[in-house]
Structure 1
Amino acid sequence: MVLWVFGYGSLIWKVGFSYDERVVGYIKGYKRVFYQGSTNHRGTPQHPGRTLTLEPLEDAICQWGAAYRVSGRENEQRVLSYLEVREKNHDLRAYLDVYMDSSSTEPAVSGALVFIATKDKK
């Protein structure tokens, strides 16, 4: 099995890990929102900074993002360890299809790993 990771926020421009292929595309059924409270790089415990997360919404499209193919068991483990720290406020790991062309019904990437945090509107 090959690991694909989909980034919809800072992973688009600041990946932070090595990858073999990058596919620009979108995911369905979610919208991008600044609902996640974070003290990592911004904010304070009393006033967390806002960072992106995803909110499920029927018929929504989160465009655009990037999917990264990571191969090699050792590199996959390194990337997953890195992402667990970077995405430390996530509550959910989802495996979603990534589409490149709005006219296509077939995904360009099947089952890309996406980190999602619970909505926090403090």
Structure 2
Amino acid sequence: REREREDMVTWVFGYGSLIWKAGFRYDERLVGFIQGYRRVFYQGSTDHRGTPAFPGRTVTLEAFPGEVCWGVAYRISEEDEKIALEYLEVREKQYDMKVYLDFFTDPTSAIPAVSGVMVYVASPDKDLNK
């Protein structure tokens, strides 16, 4: 059955290190994918790798029709939401955008497992993300 955001819970999609190291409490973890995006190492980072002159690379998503990106979706309860989102805002600070997408667990189904999964992404402007 499709899970809606109205369930008073937050869903967050992890496609990089969030896959294996969430760092926050969650009630459910689903393996699956989002559509229309691909994983790329375009995001510049100086907070835990690289320098201001030579930023390191971290993964982000690029909108790309026909592509899918596999990862995990975490269900965060209303009780844990504030602490989890505060943690994620610090951890994911290099990503300047959030998008809300459908998340699928079954590649043969057109019906998403969850609608409105929050995804942290970097601006598509590669000059801003050097």
- TM-score category by the smaller chain? over 0.9
Q: 1:2, CA displacement in angstroms? A: 1.3
**Counterpart selection for 2:74 from 61, 68, 75:** 68
The correspondence of residues 32-111 of structure 1 with structure 2, limited to 5 A, is: 32-62=39-69, 64-73=70-79, 75-111=80-116
**In the alignment, what sits opposite 2:31?**
24
Find runs of 4+ consecutive structure 1 residues off by over 4 angstroms.
Answer: none
Q: Mind listing any 5+ residue stretches in structure 1 that lack a counterpart?
A: none
Q: Give the SS at the match of 1:89.
A: coil
Task: Give the root-mean-square deviation of aligned CA atoms.
Answer: 1.1
- Aligned residue in 1 for 2:5: none
- Does structure 1 residue 116 correspond to structure 2 residue 121? yes
- TM-score, normalising length: structure 2: 0.88
Structure 2 alignment gaps of length 5 or more = 1-7
What is the aligned partner in structure 2 of residue 10 from structure 1? Answer: 17
Greater strand content: 1
Instruction: Please tell me the residue identity of whatever aligns with 1:109.
Output: V
Report Cα offsets for 1:4-62 as digits up to 9, x if no partner: 00000000011000100000000001000000000121100000000000000111111
